């Protein structure tokens, strides 16, 4: 039997003895008259059982799945990112469920399209009544459909949320005057709008267009929060005196600082910084590569190495720079893999992004989960070099990494490990030496890094490890090579703090007493605190607006300064009031804070 398969392809089948069918397939050029250029015959035996066919298909599938081409495909970060997007599609569609109906109405009826990103909304869209005395004294109001109406703009012309003219509206009837809202009603409406904005906003940074500044002028969320008096960030302190600070002329109990050992205002630390200015000046005005290195840097590097029992140390300009420099230098080729905890600090993620630009891969394992790390390392090829990177103490949760178990997995796979001990130094471990010392695995951790800006009461960064590894980093990390060196007073302050920390172990003991007392009392009240066992105690609120409003009440009504962590800085349903404690907090400070937490918790329904 002959069958034409296409313009230039013919199939001929013939039954042959033995229960088989012979296929003759001819293929030629697109011009039929040109003749055959290739001819091949294929015999396909009819299987006796369907099961044998399925087994064959499975075998072929296994061979295909294990082929180098497929393995390269599924290990590609872009493919994994796309797969993650598919898995998260349901949640994203649920978040956007309110938008498609409005979009359909726009297509059908031609109505004004509202802003997809509430972060672009104006203050009128938030329901805040504003008065612009400079423009004819007109007042803006929120329209029922959410589009802004401001008679003071463009000679009284009204505009929708995206700047386009809205449909002509009928004049208000004199029989149906607009209802005047009370201040309390306006406040509640504004809060509801802000809550919607927080829950629905998308990444405005992805807004594109010819003018790269366009997204900047459309970003309204921060301005709206400022107008409502609920903007919690970038608040300038008048001064900070350790456990107490002054904000806008008001004294507050500081529960938002990482000054764990209370050394920022220690007279000895201040004097060391002042003496360094007298001797070296305020800055070296150059990078470590050229004129920016001084003996003070080398002395501190040697002290840090000896303190941690490592061969060498390296001093950086900032703690953030430590991870950017080390990771980007060590993972600078296509066979390098950064294996990181999903909850690692932003500086680690930024270091990995730089490494990815050079061809490295990123693999994330479940938070603080050795089994997940084991699985991630098991799936890497023999020619791939993994560097496992984890926080020692996670900065938002206060949770200690399970480093003893993680190290066993790392050794099993002959990988390397870097631990960021920014929030562990001076807090946990014998002598305050951090996470590796806490578990007794200092020799099994390849690199330990951190910052001066917590327990060392200064600004700068450090890393300790093998001399050859640190020597490589300082020669191949561009962010180290071409950045100005740490200033003399900063280095001197850190040196003096390290000296005091070792000479006065009571500070670590008092710190633990303070955060243990707060953790136990907050849990007794009924607050959810997670798995913290350090000076960072998160109070889980799990709602953006409620977190901000509780922060505002604690600060303004009770003089307690805490840090609100909301999305996108934390994942959805992980919003917290982050509190942190010092060795220099007195019990009266802590009791004052506990009283405030209990009252505010009940006020906002977090406590019963």
Question: Is 371 contained in some domain?
Answer: yes
* Whether 17 and 49 share a structural domain: yes
* Whether 434 and 476 share a structural domain: yes
At 363 the three-state DSSP class reads strand
pTM of the complete model beyond 0.85: no
Of 418, 453, 484, the one marking the end of a domain is 484
Residue 440 sits in a domain whose CATH number is: 3.40.640.10
* Whether 140 and 190 share a structural domain: yes
List, in sequence order, every beta strand (DSSP E) within 216-335.
Answer: 239-240, 244-247, 250-254, 312-316
Closest to 531 in 3D by CA, of 345, 335, 393: 393
pLDDT of residue 57: 73
Say if strands 416-420 and 447-451 run parallel, antiparallel, or are unpaired: parallel
* Whether 200 and 158 share a structural domain: yes
* Whether 364 and 316 share a structural domain: yes
Residue 595 tokens read as 């009283």
* Whether 528 and 559 share a structural domain: yes
* Whether 361 and 454 share a structural domain: yes
| Alpha-carbon separation of residue 553 from 53, 121, 248 (angstroms) | 70, 25, 16
* Whether 514 and 581 share a structural domain: yes
Question: Is 202 contained in some domain?
Answer: yes
* Whether 419 and 352 share a structural domain: yes
CA distance 195 to 230: 12
Closest to 435 in 3D by CA, of 463, 465, 399, 409: 399
pLDDT of residue 167: 43
Residue with tokens 């920016």: 292
Question: Is 196 contained in some domain?
Answer: yes
Residue 59 tokens read as 């075998």
* Whether 537 and 479 share a structural domain: no
* Whether 454 and 556 share a structural domain: no
Question: Is 261 contained in some domain?
Answer: no
As averages over each run of 10 residues, the pLDDT of the chain (608 residues) reads 52 54 50 41 47 70 66 60 66 57 48 36 37 36 36 38 41 55 72 59 69 86 85 93 94 97 97 97 96 96 98 98 98 97 96 96 97 97 96 96 98 98 98 98 98 98 98 97 97 98 98 98 97 97 92 97 89 92 98 98 95
Of 484, 516, 549, the one marking the end of a domain is 484
CA distance 191 to 550: 13
- What is the extent of the structural domain holding 140? 97-162+181-228
pLDDT of residue 193: 67
pLDDT of residue 536: 98
List, in sequence order, every beta strand (DSSP E) within 46-158.
Answer: 130-131, 139-142, 148-149
pLDDT of residue 216: 87
Provide the number of structural domains found in the chain: 4
The model's pLDDT over 193-233, given as tens digits with 9 standing for 90+, comes to 666 655 545 566 777 788 999 888 888 878 888 888 888 99
At 549 the three-state DSSP class reads helix
Question: Is 595 contained in some domain?
Answer: yes
Question: Is 56 contained in some domain?
Answer: yes
The b/e string for 130-160 (b: 16+ C-beta within 10 A; e otherwise) is eeeeeeeeeebbbbeebbbbbbbbeeeebbb
Residue 571 sits in a domain whose CATH number is: 3.90.1150.10
Of 72, 87, 107, the one marking the end of a domain is 72
Residue 290 tokens read as 């050229």
* Whether 474 and 520 share a structural domain: no
At 84 the three-state DSSP class reads helix
Instruction: Identify whether the C-beta of residue 577 lies closer than 8 Å to the C-beta of residue 541.
Output: yes
CA angle in degrees (0–180, nearest 5) for 267-273-278? 120
Question: Is 39 contained in some domain?
Answer: yes
Closest to 347 in 3D by CA, of 449, 265, 438: 449
Question: Is 101 contained in some domain?
Answer: yes
pLDDT of residue 99: 52
């Amino acid at each position: 039997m002959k069958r034409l398969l296409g313009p230039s392809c013919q199939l001929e089948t013939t039954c042959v003895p033995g229960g088989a069918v012979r296929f003759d397939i001819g293929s030629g050029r697109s011009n039929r008259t040109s003749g055959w250029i290739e001819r091949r015959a294929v015999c396909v035996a009819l299987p006796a059982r369907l099961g044998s066919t399925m087994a064959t298909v499975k075998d072929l599938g296994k061979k295909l799945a294990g082929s180098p081409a497929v393995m390269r495909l599924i290990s590609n970060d872009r493919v994994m990112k796309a797969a993650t997007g598919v898995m998260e599609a349901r949640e994203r569609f649920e978040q956007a469920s309110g938008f498609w109906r409005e979009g359909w109405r726009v297509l059908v009826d031609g109505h004004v399209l509202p802003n997809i990103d509430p972060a672009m909304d104006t203050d009128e869209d938030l329901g805040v009544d504003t008065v612009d005395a400079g423009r004819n004294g007109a007042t803006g109001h929120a329209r029922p459909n959410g589009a802004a109406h401001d008679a003071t703009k463009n000679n009284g012309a009204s505009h929708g949320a995206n700047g386009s003219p809205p449909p002509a509206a009928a004049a208000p009837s004199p029989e149906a005057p607009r209802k005047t809202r009370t201040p309390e009603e306006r406040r509640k409406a504004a809060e509801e709008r802000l809550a919607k904005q927080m829950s629905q906003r998308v990444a405005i940074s992805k807004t594109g267009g010819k003018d790269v500044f366009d997204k900047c002028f459309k970003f309204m969320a921060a301005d709206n929060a400022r107008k409502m008096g609920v903007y919690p960030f970038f608040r300038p302190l008048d001064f900070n005196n350790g456990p107490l600070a002054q904000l806008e002329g008001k004294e507050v109990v500081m529960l938002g600082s990482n000054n764990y050992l209370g050394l920022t205002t220690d007279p000895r630390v201040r004097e060391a910084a002042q003496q360094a200015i007298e001797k070296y000046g305020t800055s070296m005005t150059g990078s470590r590569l050229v004129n920016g290195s001084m003996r003070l840097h080398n002395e501190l590097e040697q002290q840090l190495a000896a303190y941690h029992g490592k061969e060498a140390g390296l001093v950086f300009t900032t703690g953030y720079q430590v991870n950017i420099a080390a990771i980007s230098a060590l993972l600078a080729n296509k066979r390098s893999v950064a294996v990181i905890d999903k909850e690692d600090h932003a500086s680690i993620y930024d270091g990995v992004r730089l490494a990815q630009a050079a061809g490295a891969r990123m693999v994330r394992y479940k938070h603080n989960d050795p089994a997940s790390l084991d699985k991630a390392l098991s799936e890497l090829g023999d020619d791939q070099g993994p560097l496992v990177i984890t926080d020692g103490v996670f900065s938002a949760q206060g949770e200690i990494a399970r480093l003893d178990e993680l190290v066993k997995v790392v050794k099993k796979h002959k990988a390397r490990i870097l631990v960021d001990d920014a929030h562990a130094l001076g807090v946990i471990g014998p002598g305050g030496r951090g996470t590796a010392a806490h578990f007794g695995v200092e020799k099994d951790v390849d690199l330990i890094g951190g910052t001066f800006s917590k327990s060392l009461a200064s600004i700068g960064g450090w890393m300790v490890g093998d001399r050859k590894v640190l020597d490589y980093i300082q020669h191949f990390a561009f962010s180290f090579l071409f950045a100005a060196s740490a200033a003399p007073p900063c280095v001197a302050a850190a040196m003096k703090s390290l000296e005091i920390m070792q000479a006065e172990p009571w500070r670590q003991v008092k710190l633990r007493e303070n955060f243990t007392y707060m953790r136990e009392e907050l849990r007794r009240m009924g607050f959810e605190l997670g798995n913290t066992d350090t000076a960072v105690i998160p109070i889980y609120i799990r709602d953006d607006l409620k977190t901000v409003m509780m922060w505002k009440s604690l600060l303004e009504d009770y003089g307690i300064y805490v840090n609100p962590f909301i999305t996108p800085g934390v994942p959805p349903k992980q919003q917290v009031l982050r509190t942190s404690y010092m060795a220099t907090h007195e019990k009266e400070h802590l009791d004052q804070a506990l009283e405030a937490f209990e009252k505010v918790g009940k006020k906002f329904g977090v406590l019963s």
